[in-house]
Chain A
Amino acid sequence: MDEEPLVIGACKLTSRLIIGTGGAANLAVLERALVASGTELTTVAMRRADAEGGSGVLELLRRLGIELLPNTAGCRTAAEAVLTAQLAREALDTDLIKLEVHADDRTLLPDPIETLDAAERLAADGFTVFAYTNDDPVLALRLEEAGCAAVMPLGAPIGTGLGIRNPHNIELIVARAGVPVILDAGIGTASDATLAMELGCDAVLLSTAVTRAADPERMAAAMRAGVVAGRLAREAGRVPQRFWAQASSPPR
Chain B
Amino acid sequence: MEIKLNGEWTEFPDGATVADVLAATGGPRPGIAVAVDGVVVRRADWPATPVPKGAGVDVLTAVQGG
* In the complex, chain B residues whose CB is within 8 Å of the CB of A90: 33-34, 40, 42-43
* In the complex, chain A residues whose CB is within 8 Å of the CB of B42: 90
User: Within 8 Å of chain B (Cβ to Cβ): is A161?
Assistant: no
The tally of residues in A whose CB lies under 8 Å from a CB in B reads: 39
User: Within 8 Å of chain B (Cβ to Cβ): is A207?
Assistant: yes
User: Within 8 Å of chain B (Cβ to Cβ): is A167?
Assistant: no
- Does A71 contact B66, Cβ atoms closer than 8 Å? yes
Interface string of B27-66 (1 = CB under 8 A from A): 0011111110010101100000000000000111111111
The docked-state distance in angstroms from the alpha carbon of A41 to that of B48 is 35
Chief secondary structure at chain A's binding surface = mixed
- Does A46 contact B64, Cβ atoms closer than 8 Å? no
The docked-state distance in angstroms from the alpha carbon of A45 to that of B66 is 6
- Does A50 contact B6, Cβ atoms closer than 8 Å? yes
B24 to chain A, nearest CB (A): 7
The docked-state distance in angstroms from the alpha carbon of A58 to that of B58 is 19
Residues of A within 8 A of B (CB): 20-24, 30, 43-55, 57-58, 68-71, 73, 79, 83-84, 86-92, 98, 100, 207
Residues of B within 8 A of A (CB): 6-7, 24-26, 29-35, 38, 40, 42-43, 58-66
